[in-house]
Homo-oligomer: A and B are copies of this chain.
Amino acid sequence: MKKLTIKDIANHFSVSISTVSKALNDSYEISKSTKQKIQEYAKVHNYKPNFNALSLKKRKTKTIGVIIPNMLNYFFAQVFKGVEKEANKNGYKVITCISNESFDKEVETIEMLSNGSIDGFLLSIAEETELKNNFTHLTKTIEHALPIVMFDRVAQGVDCDKVITNDSEGAVNAVAHLAKTGCKHIAFISTQSHLKSGQERELGYIEGLKKEKMQVNPNLVIHILEEDYKQYERILLPYFEENKIDSVITTDESSAIAAMKIVQSKGHHVPKDFSVISFSNGIIARHSSPKLTTVSQHGEIMGETATKMLIDKIEKKQGYEEIKTKIIKTDLVFRNSTKI
């Protein structure tokens, strides 16, 4: 069964294709009766204007491209959920690509989609791109009039809209809560010291300590590598043996769990003897014993926000020419790894 075109309808009623086109678009030029019969016929036969013809003509595709570093990351999956929802709400499709944290894949993807496939990009830069600090592929596409909105992992130097979370504030709040509940020796474990957001969290930790008039002990700032996730406990153990630590803030869930297991294995009780707060997306945090108190990022809202910004830019809504950065706040979600 071939797809129905405007031409077929025109033939069927022995009218011109422009009459049909106008009728379907409810033009005032066409008589009520013709409009009715044509619209009726189109509906019954399930006519749908050809997407590519429309896009070619109108020079816009009503689709956006999203580049996500890693969909297995729950946070990014949440962001994507928000993107898809907001895009659909506005009648946009979304082409999704995973960069796998690879610079090359990111560049290739942008190349692939920079041929009129999409009206704009949403992206969170790959780890490798962040390290390389090479953003020419991004500046180039912006020059070519394809708008970009970056989310979460953002390239400061690139001139475009951005949506980020307030990582440092999240850490400050975490420190404040620990201090309030009597913790004196707060450690910080980072698996992301190579990333901007990881550095922000660390800065927030320091700032938080200062605010609480607590001393910053460099021995309590622990940097480990994400790729070593299978040996977190082994790697962390010495830190806990050589220092007096009564609480920890971690940049990720896995190291929070590892820290907790270490102190538990020494017979300590969480949260009575030891408190834990983790930056987190929540999935693992809700299944540990005890459940983790977290600095929670609102991925879905971030996705919605970024998408809205991009669509506003594409459709040149009021104020679209300003370049904005929006900040999504974090929430401290109290579970059972901290005292009240």
Contact = CB atoms under 8 A, between A and B. Distances in A.
A81 B88 contact: no
A24 to B, nearest CB: 13
A257 B289 CA distance: 10
A54 to B, nearest CB: 8
Contacts of A114: 48
Interface string A256-292: 0100010000000000000000000001100111000
A27 interface: no
Interface stretch (A95-103, A173-181, A314-322): A95-103
A117 B55 CA distance: 10
Interface stretch (A69-77, A155-163, A198-206): A69-77
Most chain B CB inside 10 Å of its own CB: which residue of A61, A77, A253: A77
Interface string A65-100: 000000110100110110011001000011111100
A275 to B, nearest CB: 18
A93 B93 contact: no
Contact of A93 (B72, B85, B117): B117
A3 B116 CA distance: 9
A144 interface: yes
A44 interface: no
Nearest to A109: B88
A51 interface: yes
Contacts of A257: 287
Contacts of A221: none
A218 B293 CA distance: 39
Given A74-B74, A74-B283, A283-B283, 10 more contacts: A48-B116, A51-B116, A51-B117, A53-B56, A56-B56, A71-B84, A93-B95, A94-B95, A94-B96, A253-B287
